[in-house]
Structure 1
Amino acid sequence: MIHALGEHVPRIDPTAWVHPDATVIGDVEIGPQSSVWPGAVLRGDFGAIRIGARTSVQDNAVLHSGPATATVVGDDCIVAHLAFIEMAVVEDACLVGVGAHVLPGACLRAGSVAAAGAVLARSLEVPAGHRAQGVPAVAVPSDHPDRAYVMRGAQNYVLMMRRYVEAGIGSTGVDIRPSAC
């Protein structure tokens, strides 16, 4: 389901794809060749959500924003199943693992990772070449998965998305009209 909320209209690149069981509401922008999978929710009702190119937002992930702070996910990222991101920045070629929570003010620098189940508390900055792990998460040096691994995974989701498009499942970039709300 893709919904405008008042004057806030989702902007979905013509080459991006949204599964019919995903929800995209309001001030959301989805970049080229990105994909939003079943059960994912991108709720741009309080503020902006920006998704870069070739990024997959996988099953049951939730992205939300706040009135003063956007939620930003860069290019070539993987937001895994059940991940949660709110008012945070995820730079290019990052992996947000299964069930990871990236809380307001946290930042994953390009090529970094939030491990499965990690909870990144406010203002935690994870440098490139590091993985945030634990509850609360701490950043530790890590060479796996590395940036190349994440980018290959992102490309695999572009290919998977094409299979779904060819099968007639979901929508590619759509024109949503504003509602009266």
Structure 2
Amino acid sequence: MRPLIIPFKDKTPNIHKQAFIFPQTSIIGDVRIEKECSVWFGSVIRGDVNAIFIDEGSNIQELTNIHVDYPNEGKGEVRIGKFVTIGHRCIIHACEIGDRVLVGMGSIIMDRAVIGSESIIGANSLITKGKTFPPRSLIMGNPAKLIRELSEEEIAFITTSANHYISLAREYESSIPSLHLP
């Protein structure tokens, strides 16, 4: 039931002691997860050929896969900003996601894509390779397109969502004593 934390070559996952790592997750290689992040049941974060960085307060929901690409022109890693919510069953591959972004369920973000801070990606959207979106974007579709700029209320909701998952993970602490890794 415990998560699988697996070193790969000379890299071992670096997980903050105040992160919440749920059972049945796999975290491999060059991965750094900051405080108050949560990685939910069944997710896989595989930093085998490049690095993955997940900043403070972000949550990776059930069955999401995060992977990297081989380094090429300094690219190929995954960077996820602060207070990001990544919905259920997403694929995040060799891309950059800014601070306070909400990624809707079932979305795919491909290599070298860049998502500006304070953006929302609609459920089941496909962000194609190399696509860049500015901050405060509503992004939707397959392939995804910029729909419009977000309102202040929508931007506030992104932070509310991330804080909700921090609170929800804390509620699990009494039921799952191994949520914090030593």
Shared fold per TM-score greater than 0.5: yes
159-168 vs 97-106, which moves further? 159-168
Structure 1 CA distance for aligned equivalents of residues 90 and 26 of structure 2:
15
In 1, Cα distance between equivalents of 2:46 and 2:179? 18
Give % identity: 25
| 1:28-177 pair list within 5 angstroms | 28-68=31-71, 69-143=76-150, 146-174=154-182
Aligned partner of residue 139 in structure 2, secondary structure: strand
Cα distance in structure 2, aligned partners of 1:79 and 1:92: 12
Shift of 1:127: 1.3
Per the TM alignment, residue 66 of structure 1 is displaced from its structure 2 partner at its CA by 1.4
Q: Which runs of 5+ in 2 are unaligned?
A: none
Deviation of residue 165 (structure 1)? 1.6
Runs of 4+ in 1 over 3 A off after TM superposition: none
2:24 counterpart of 1:21: yes
Deviations 1:99-140 (A, max 9, x none): 000000111100012210110011211112212211111112
Higher relative contact order (CA 8 A, sep 6+): 1
CA contact (8 A) 1:20 1:169 kept: no
SS of the residue 1:160 aligns to: helix
Aligned residues: 174
Q: How far has the Cα of 1:169 moved from its partner?
A: 4.5
| 8 Å contact from structure 1 (residues 164, 170) kept in 2 | no
Q: CA deviation at 1:61?
A: 0.6
Aligned-partner SS, 2:36: coil
Q: Distance in 1 between matches of 2:85 and 2:50?
A: 22
Distance apart, 1:172 and its partner CA:
1.2
| Deviates most, 19-28 or 125-134 | 125-134
Counterpart selection for 2:6 from 3, 26, 29: 3
Distance verdict in 2 for CA 1:116–1:169, change over 3 Å = farther
Length-normalised TM-score, structure 2: 0.91
Q: 1:153 to 1:37 in 2, by over 3 A?
A: same
